Each structure stands twice: as C-alpha cells, then as structure tokens.
Structure 1
Amino acid sequence: MKRTAPPLPTREDEALIQDYMLHAVIESVLTRDMNLLPTLELKLADLYALILRHAGRDNADRLWTVRRQMRHRGIRILARRRTAAGFEIKYLCRGYECMLAFDSVAFMQELAARIGAVSQNRL
C-alpha cells in the first residue's frame, strides 16, 4: 500500500495562525494594562479593572478555541518574534515547517478592529 503525503497548509490554516497571533498579542496587552492599572490614580480604576478582566476572559476563551482548532488541524507553533517590519511566526503544519510574516501596520489595524468589535458587543 502506497503512503500519501499529508495535505499542504491551506489559507484556512494561515487564517487560524493569524487568529492565534492576534489573540496572543491581545492577551499580552491586557496583562500589561492590568498590571499597570494599580499604579495610576484613576477615579474609576475598579471599573476599568473589571472591564479588562472581562475582556481577558473573553480573549482567553477565544484563544483556547483557536488552539483547539490548531491541534485538530495538526498545527503547532515553533517560534514567534517581533521584527522591525512586524511579526514572524514559525509553525509546523501536518509535518510541513512554515513561516508567516505580518506587517505591523496591517496587523495593528486588524487588532484594533477586533478589539473594537469585542467592546461593542460587551458594552
């Protein structure tokens, strides 16, 4: 019996990697902001902290879903790093080693759009 090669990575796989990267960046930003909040003298600090915690939980749920889909599709992150132009992420997809690069400006616009969509659903 002849073995067949696993399917090549698809656009859907790349979209899933982009979702992973977006949610990972959102998680790090929310964590940084939650740690920074107690150092500021704000009148509504408790309310802001509550909003950040809710956003963090929602993001963690979405990140968990993306990771589960990645496992199901045979995708594993090998490395991610920030570059002068944006972000790079190396991953293994069904045995194929791949790399995706994200332009910083386009990535941040997508990030802002996602955060805006989440906050509109929340408030």
Structure 2
Amino acid sequence: MNMVRAPMEKSEEEMQMVKQSLILPIVLDVLAHDIRVLQGSAAKMNGLYVKYLNTLQDKASLELFHLRRQLRQQGIKVFRQERAKQGLEAEYLCRGYQHPFMMLWSVVKAEVEAALDILMNDSSRKPIDNCP
C-alpha cells in the first residue's frame, strides 16, 4: 500500500492567506482609529468620510470572514499572534506542522496600506452610465 504524505512545506498561497489573516485585523484597527478621529474632528463632511470608512470596515470584515473560513477548510490554524516590539509575530499549524511567522512593523505598515488601497479601489469602481 503506497501512501502519499502531505509535505511539511507550506505553499506560497497558504503563506499569503496566513499573512492576510494577520494584516486584516490591523486594517480594521486602523479604520476604527480613523473613524474615532474623524468623529471628533471639525471637518466639514466628516459624516460622509465616516460612512466611507464604515463601508471599508464592512468589506475588510467580510474578507476576513471568508479568509478564516478558507484557512479552516485547508486545515490551517493561526494559534498565536503577538504585536511585539520588532514586529508582528505569529505561529500557525499547516498540515500538522508548526510554522513561525514574523513581519517587521515597516513591512506591516506597507501591507496595511496596500490592503487599504485595494479596498478603496474596489469600492470606488462603480460603472458610470453613458460613458463611451
């Protein structure tokens, strides 16, 4: 009987999913902070800005929900997350093997900005009628 064993190495796609599952909660924290700041500001249209940020929060939350479900389906479990002095640290299980994960804060910031950019671009793409 020839049994095929799951490899210890995780795929690039799995690593990206783990990274996104750690980045999206920070995106949500950033959005929540910015909403609080806007609500306390004297900006002329802060209600509109807050509404837009709430929409981004909803999109990020939904994306995180689907991502966590996908991780569960693939048997990947992030079991430790820590916002350490040097950066974001985590450990996760993938196919029964434990893997470390670490990102410096400068990289986390760039990843959060990229995720926000994607969320903003997705929400601003609305079809305009009567355009050639």
After TM superposition, is the score higher than 0.5? yes
1:103 aligns to what?
104
Larger radius of gyration: 2
Q: How does 1:26-105 map to 2 (within 5 A)?
A: 26-105=27-106
RMSD of the alignment, in Å?
1.9
Deviation at 1:2, TM superposition (A): 7.7
Contact 1:89 1:101 in 2 (8 A): yes
C-alpha separation in 2, matches of 1:94 and 1:117: 30
More helix by percentage: 1
Secondary structure at the counterpart of residue 44 of structure 2: coil
Counting aligned pairs with the same residue, the percent is 24
* Counterpart contact for 1:30–1:56, Cα < 8 Å: yes
Q: Gaps (5+ residues) in structure 2?
A: 125-132
**C-alpha deviation, 1:28, in angstroms:** 1.5
> Taking structure 2 as the reference length, what is the TM-score of the superposition?
0.81
Alpha-carbon distance in structure 2 between the residues aligned to 1:97 and 1:21: 16
Aligned with 2:102: secondary structure? strand
- Secondary structure at 1:101 match in 2: strand
Q: Write the letter of the residue equivalent to 2:122.
A: N
1: CA distance between counterparts of 2:73 and 2:117? 29
State the shift of 1:31 in Å. Answer: 2.1
Output one character per residue of 1:17-40: Cα deviation in whole Å (capped at 9) or x when no partner: 011111111112112222333222
Q: Distance in 1 between matches of 2:35 and 2:3?
A: 51
Q: Which stretches in structure 1 are left out of the alignment for 5+ residues?
A: none
Residue 109 (structure 1) shift: 1.4
Q: Does 1:7 align with 2:7?
A: yes
Runs (4+) of structure 1 moved beyond 4 Å? 1-5
Once the two structures are superposed, residues 35-78 of structure 1 have per-residue CA deviations (whole angstroms, 9 ceiling, x without a partner) of 33322222112101100110011101111111111011101111
Tell me how far 1:4 sits from its aligned partner.
5.7
Alpha-carbon contact 2:60-2:119 (below 8 Å) kept: no
Distance of 1:66 and 1:86 partners within structure 2: 22
Q: Give the 3-state SS of the residue equivalent to 1:80 in structure 2.
A: strand
Distance 1:117 1:64 in 2: 17
Inter-partner Cα distance in structure 1 for 2:7 and 2:62? 28
